Amino acid sequence: MIKPKFISMLSLPSKISLLVFLLFIWRNEPTNAKEDIQYDINADAWVVMESETGKVLLDKNMNKQNFPASITKIITAIIAIEERELSEIVMVSEHAQNTEGSSLSLKAGDQISLLDLLYGIMLHSGNDGAVAVAEHISTNETDFAQKMTSFVKSIGAKNSHFTNASGLPNNEHYTTAYDMAIITRYAMKNAFFKEMVQHKTYNWDEQLWRDTLMTHEKSEAKEYGIAWEGKPKIINHNRLLGLYEGATGIKNGFTHESRYTLVGSANRNGSELIAVVLKSANVDTAYKDIITLLDEGFRIKKASSDQVKRINEEVSTNNVVEESVLDNSNSKETESNSTIPIENQIIYASILGIITFLILTFWVKIRSKK
């Protein structure tokens, strides 16, 4: 423990230097959580990132390339939001109608607002809707996929490449957990995107409410515990919104090639984290993985915050408690002893820092062996 009286004898610059040194040493302690959590995660690759700073708190194989499946639609959506007006009307093509996989039951010739399509692809994960958006922006899906790849590289996602707007498997369609965290962090800065991915349901256009879509959504509502009113309404497939307190999104995905992928986010006490898991074995392990990672990420955040608070309490002159009544002789003695040359202060702070470092290093080694 740093003695308050000793700290009171240091000048303000020396106190600041000591605080910075201790923060540098102590900030690394929580990263040992990586060693413990590896065995609790089923996914092949994962990462936890601070939304505000982009700092990685936890990771495994975060730069390993994997198939993303429908979390691809995060890129499709943010490009559309930034480049077009939500009120624009999109014409559905035959190519979009025939897209395999999850579907909004769109038909060639359907006209639908870009706003509705974005909710349809992010909540219901409609592949046909994703293709319709791509063709609306870039004429054809291939050109749009090139735009997707260029876009993500421009924001720092260097190890991703896309060949379609929906996430259907292709050997040249891949990403990494780290890249998806970067992409998601960027997208969540957009107010509309952030609001959209928090919706559990969305009222659908009655003209496009077909029997196949209604049957599917009725089943989804029952599975997710959402009251079914019989009205045209699409259900968000992201179960995290109902499983995790403070969840703020974002998107799940699945193909046989990718297995289960999931990008989740949550806010706790004003701090938001983004977690990504790629290639988890099944839907249950994917959500268990993301919940474990978010819990551990918030634990690390709290531990770091508590450490900073403890250091500030030690260093702050407001916490230095001196005797309120001193006789004249003691006052003079204290005054004479409290004046330490700056050179000695630097030496004292350096020695104290080294001792603190050795103690913490020894402590961390003991913890890692437990």
Asked whether the beta carbons of 38 and 222 are under 8 A apart, the reply is: no
- Whether omega before 300 lies within 30 degrees of 0, making that bond cis, reads no
Residue 363 has a pLDDT of: 60
Residue 106 has a pLDDT of: 98
Condensed to tens digits (0 to 9), the pLDDT of residues 27-40 reads 444 444 555 666 68
Condensed to tens digits (0 to 9), the pLDDT of residues 154-197 reads 999 999 999 999 999 999 999 999 999 999 999 999 999 999 99
Average pLDDT, the chain: 85
Residue 1 has a pLDDT of: 43
Residue 326 has a pLDDT of: 43
Condensed to tens digits (0 to 9), the pLDDT of residues 93-113 reads 999 999 999 999 999 999 999
Residue 224 has a pLDDT of: 86
pTM: 0.78
Residue among 185, 204, 180, 303 at smallest CA distance from 248 = 185
Residue among 302, 178, 188 at smallest CA distance from 247 = 188
User: How far lies 350's CA from each of 13, 142, 211, 343, 354, in Å?
Assistant: 13, 60, 74, 11, 6
Residue among 103, 88, 165 at smallest CA distance from 134 = 165
Asked whether the beta carbons of 232 and 121 are under 8 A apart, the reply is: no
Domains recognised in the chain with CATH numbers = 4-30+307-369 (no CATH), 58-246 (3.40.710.10)
Asked whether the beta carbons of 66 and 279 are under 8 A apart, the reply is: yes
pLDDT bracket for residue 355 (50, 70, 90): confident
So which residues are the catalytic ones?
Answer: 70, 73, 125
